[in-house]
Chain A
Amino acid sequence: MDVKGLWHFLHRDASGRWAIWYLYLFAAIGLFSDFLANERPLVFREEGAWHFPIFRQMLAQVGLGQEEGKYVQEGWAGHSFEWVIRPLIPYSAETIDRRNLGAKSPFGPQRVAHIRYWHWLGTDQSGHDVAAGLIHGARVALFIGLIGMLTATIVGVLLGAIAGYWGDSGLEMSIARMVAYGATALGASYFIWAHQYGRVEGEADGWHHVQTGLGLVLFFVLGKGIAWGMEKSAMLGRRVPLRVDFWVSRLTEVLNSLPTLLFILAILATLEHPSIYYIMLVIGLLRWTGIARLVRAEMLRVRTLQYVEAARVLGLPDSRILWRHALPNSLGPVWVALAFGMAGAVLVEASLSFLGIGLPVETVTWGSLMRQLPGGNLRPWWLAVFPGLLIFLTVLAFNRLGESLSRAARTGTE
C-alpha cells in the first residue's frame, strides 16, 4: 500500500481515528508551544507601535536580533500594556510565579491578579505553571521522539536493506580496495583527532576547519590512488565477498546484548553538558535494530520477486535496483515499527527525565514534573496526575497508530 492509500486507510479506520486526531493535536501543541504558553504577549500596542514579542523571541533563539530588553528586565507580567493579547496560558515553562511558590493546587487558593492568570493545573514547588510545563514538555517529547526515531529509521533501513539485499555473498570488493579504504579511513580519523588536539581555543578556527577539510580530501584521493595501484597485483585484485549480512547481524547482536535503559543512562552520564540532542542521537543509534530486522526480512522476500529479477536481467546496476526498486517496496513494515518506536522513544525520554539524567536541569518535561514527587512532598497530586496522563495518552495513541498501520499492511497484502 502506498503512502496515499495508507493515509486514507488510517482516516477511515474508525476505532483508530481518535489516535490520529490526538497525534495531530500533540504535534500542533509541540510545534506551536511558544504561542500557547508564554509570559510574553502575542501582540501588544504601545506608543502607537505594534509589538510581537513571541516572534521576536523565536528569532532571538535562532540568533537573529534580540528581545526588547526594556520589557524583559521589567518582567512581562508586571508591565501594564495599553492594549494586549496574551497567549492562552500567560506563563512560560520557566516562568517563576513568586506569589504561588510551593506547589499550589488548581482548586486551592492562589494569589493571582485576575482569573486570566489562574494556574489551571496548579504550580510546582518553585512556582512554575504546570500547564505551561506540560505544553513545553509536549515539544520536548515530540522532537526527541521524532528526530530520534527518524535517525533510527535511517540507520535501520540502510543497514537492513544492504544486509537483506546483498546477503553474505552479493557484494564483492577487491582485497586491494578493502585494505586501502580501511587504512585511509583509519588514517583520516587519526588525522582529525591529532589535528584538533593541542590547539588553543579560539585560535584561527576558520583556518583550522579549512585545513581539516583539505586533509580529508587528500586522504580520499590517497585512498583511491592506493587502491588503484594495488589492484594491479593479481593477488590483491582478487574480488572477495563482503559479508554484509554477517557483520550487520553481529552489530545488532552486540547492541541487543546491552540493557537499553541502563546503557543509555551510562552513555548520558559520560557527557559533560547534557542536551536533548544527545538523547535524540543515543535513541537514534541504539534503537534501529528492530527496524533493520524488519527491512532485512522484507528485502529477502522482495529480492526474489520477478520484477527485481527482470531489472537484474536488464542489466541495471545493483545500487539502482536496491534504492529505486527494491527498497521502496520493503518499507511497509517500517511504518508500523516507526509508530511503536515513537511510543518507545516517548517512554524513554519520560523515564530519563523522570530519573533526572541526560537533560539540562532547567528543561521542563513531562518526566521532570513528576520527578519532584517521590521521596519529597507527596501532597501535590496534580504534579503526578497530569504529566503521567499525557505520557499515557501519547504512548497509547502511538500504539494505536501502530496497530492501525499493521492492520493496513495486512489488508494491503491480502
Chain B
Amino acid sequence: MWQVGQLVWRRILFAVPTLLVVSVIAFGLSKAAPGDPVQQLLHRTGEESLGNWEQEEKSYRETARILDLDKPAFYCAFLPIAYPDTLYKMAHPVRRAVLKGLCARYGNGQLALAYYRSVEQGLKRVSAERQANPAIADPTWKLLKDLALRTDARWIHRQLNDLRRQGGSAKQVSSEITRQFHALEANPTPWRKYIPSFRWHGTDNQYHHWISGVLRGAFGNSWKDGQPVGQKIKGGLRWTLLLNLSSLLLAFGLAIPLGVFMARMKNRWPDYGLKILLFLLYALPSFWVATLLLLWAVNPASGLDWLRVLGTDTPQLESNWLEFFWHERRRMLLPILSLTYGSLAYIALQVRSAMDEVLEQDYIRTARAKGLPERKVLWRHAAKNAAFPLLTLIGSIFPALLAGSVVIESVFNIPGMGKLTLDAIFGQDWPLVYTVLWISGVLTVLGLLVSDILYVWLDPRIRSAEEKSKAVWT
C-alpha cells in the first residue's frame, strides 16, 4: 500500500499552496467589492445618522473595530512612499480614497493627513455648533462635508473662499484648514507616488484573523446580523446535504442498472429510446424544470397542495436529521426530483459507454465461453471494471454536496447553503461568502484525494502517483 501513501502525501503537499491561493482569492474578492459594510450595518441598526458628528464617528469606529475593518487587509503591501503608514486606520472607504488621492497628487502623506485631519476637526467643531444654532452652522457644515470628498485644488480653494464668508466659527475653521492646505500645496513631491515601499503589517491583519480562525474552526461573524458564520452554515448544510445526498443516491442507484441494461440491449430499441430520452433529460435546464414543477404544484387545481412547496414552517433545529428529513419529506420531493434527473442521465450515459467498451474485451468473451450466466458476467466482471470512469465523478461530489443546488434552492425558497450563500452575495455579507468558497475548495481537494486513492486501490494498472498524474491531469 506504499503507493497509496505516497500519492496521498503528494496530493496533500500540493493542496496546501492551492488552498492558500484559493483563500487569498476568496478573501481578496471581498476587498474588491464596492460599498461600505460599516455604513450598511449602521444603516440596518438605525445608527447611521445620529445628528452628532462625534457620536457618529464613535459608533463608526466601534463598528469598524467589531467587523475587524480597522486593521490592515493583509500581511504586507506595496504602497507608494507618498502614503502615510497609518492609511489603513482610515476605515471609511470614501474618505480613505480621498486621502489617497491627495497623497498621490501632492506626494506628501504627512501633510495630506494633517490637512485631512483639520477638515475632520472642523466638522467636529461645527457639528457641536449646529445643535445650538442650526441656522448659522448648517451652510458651513454643508461646505465642510463637500470639502471632505474632493481632491481637486481649484475646487478646494473655491470652497474655502465660500467657507470664509460664513458665520459662527467658520472663519477660524477655514483659516486652520487653509493653512494646512497651503502647507500641502507648498511642498509638492508628486514623484513620490512612483516610488514603491514595502510595508510589513505583521500578523495583526484581517486576512490572518480570518484564516487562523477558520483553521481553528471559528469562522467569524456575519456582517449582516452578527450571527456566527459557522452556525449559519450548519443550519443551511442540513437542508443542502439532505437534498443533495438523497438526489445523488437516487441518481446512482437508478443510473447504474439503467446503464448496464442499455449496454445489454445495445442497438436494440430500448437502448435507442433510452438514449434519446436521457440525452433530452441531460439538456433540460434544471431551473426551468423546477420553475415548471413549482408552477404546477402551487396551482390549487393540480391537487398537489400536500407537497407544501412553499412551506415556511421550519421545525426546531434541535431535532435530529432523520426526524428533520421525515418532517420535511414532502417539501423536499420536488427539489430532489429537479436535482436528480440531470445527473441520472449523465451517469447512465457514462455507465452505458463504459460497459459497452468493457463488454468487447476478451475476458468477457472468456467468461461467456466458460458458461457463466449472463447476470454474473454483467455484474461480476463487466460492471466492476466499467465503474472506473465514475470514480472521477467523486472528485466533484463533495463540493456539490455543499453548494450544488444554488438555483434549485432559490426557486423553491429552501434555506439551504446555496440560498444562504446567494443571499450573502447579494447582501455583501462577505465573511460568509469567502468562508463558503474556501470550504468548497477544501472539499474539492478532498474529493480529488479520495478519487485518487480509489483509483490506485482498484485499478491494478496504475501503481504510482506518476502514472496517475500522467493518466489524469487535474
Contacts and interface: CB of A to CB of B under 8 A. Distances in A.
Given A194-B104, A250-B14, A267-B29, A388 B291 contact: yes
Contacts of B283: 343, 392, 395-396, 399
B294 interface: yes
B369 interface: no
A124 to B, nearest CB: 14
B166 to A, nearest CB: 26
Contacts of B285: 347, 350-351, 388, 391-392, 395
Contact of A197 (B14, B100, B282, B426): B100
B352 interface: no
Contact of B411 (A190, A297, A350, A374): A374
B440 A262 contact: yes
Interface in A285-332: 293, 296-297
Interface string B4-40: 0000000000100111011001100100111000000
B287 interface: yes
Interface stretch (B249-257, B318-326, B402-410): B402-410
B78 A270 contact: no
B425 to A, nearest CB: 5
Given A197-B100, A253-B14, A351 B407 contact: yes
Interface string A253-297: 110111101110111011110000000000000000000010011
B288 A254 contact: no
Nearest to A343: B283
Contact of A194 (B193, B291, B399, B418): B193
A388 B437 contact: no
A258 B440 contact: yes
Contact of A253 (B18, B104, B411, B422): B18
Contacts of A355: 406-407, 410, 422
A384 B473 contact: no
B194 interface: yes
Given A254-B25, A381-B295, A195 B194 contact: yes
Nearest to A374: B411
Nearest to B472: A293
B280 A396 contact: yes
Contacts of A384: 288, 291-292, 295
Contacts of B282: 399
B126 interface: no
B101 interface: yes
A269 B295 contact: no
A257 B19 contact: yes
A354 B433 contact: no
A263 B444 CA distance: 14
Nearest to A252: B474
A296 B470 CA distance: 11
A261 B19 CA distance: 18
A249 B25 contact: no
B413 A262 contact: no
A373 interface: yes
Given A270-B32, A378-B295, A257 B441 contact: yes
B428 A269 contact: yes
Interface in A175-213: 190-191, 194-195, 197-200
Contact of B403 (A200, A262, A272): A262
Contacts of A266: 26, 29, 425, 433, 437
Contacts of B436: 262
A384 B102 CA distance: 53
Given A267-B29, A354-B287, A399-B279, A194 B474 contact: no
A81 B94 CA distance: 53
Nearest to A389: B288
B434 to A, nearest CB: 8
Contacts of A253: 14, 18, 474
Contacts, number: 149
A332 to B, nearest CB: 18
Interface string B405-447: 0110011010000100110011010000100110011001100
A272 B34 contact: yes
Interface in B268-296: 279-280, 282-285, 287-288, 291-292, 294-295
Interface string B339-369: 0000000000000000000000000000000
Interface in A361-414: 370, 373-375, 378, 381, 384-385, 388, 391-392, 395-396, 399-400, 403
B288 A200 contact: no
Given A194-B80, A257-B19, A270-B29, A385 B292 contact: yes
A293 B78 CA distance: 35
Given A259-B440, A391-B288, A249 B474 contact: yes
A3 B14 CA distance: 40
B299 A357 contact: no
B298 interface: yes
Given A256-B444, A262-B440, A269-B428, A351 B287 contact: yes
Contact of A191 (B32, B194, B284): B194
A253 B10 CA distance: 14
B410 to A, nearest CB: 6
A257 B444 contact: yes
B14 A374 contact: no
Contacts of A357: 425-426
B196 interface: yes
B473 A297 contact: yes
B448 to A, nearest CB: 8
Contacts of A373: 291, 295
Nearest to A393: B283
Contacts of A256: 444, 474
A351 B418 CA distance: 13
B130 interface: no
Nearest to B412: A374
Contacts of A391: 285, 288
A401 to B, nearest CB: 11
Closest 9 CB pairs of A and B: A198-B104, A388-B288, A396-B283, A257-B441, A259-B440, A270-B33, A257-B444, A395-B283, A270-B32
13 contacts: A194-B196, A200-B152, A259-B403, A262-B436, A270-B34, A357-B426, A370-B291, A374-B294, A378-B295, A388-B285, A391-B285, A396-B279, A400-B279
Given A198-B151, A262-B440, A265-B406, 17 more contacts: A190-B78, A198-B103, A250-B18, A257-B441, A258-B25, A262-B421, A262-B425, A265-B422, A265-B425, A270-B34, A355-B410, A374-B294, A374-B411, A384-B288, A384-B292, A395-B285, A396-B279
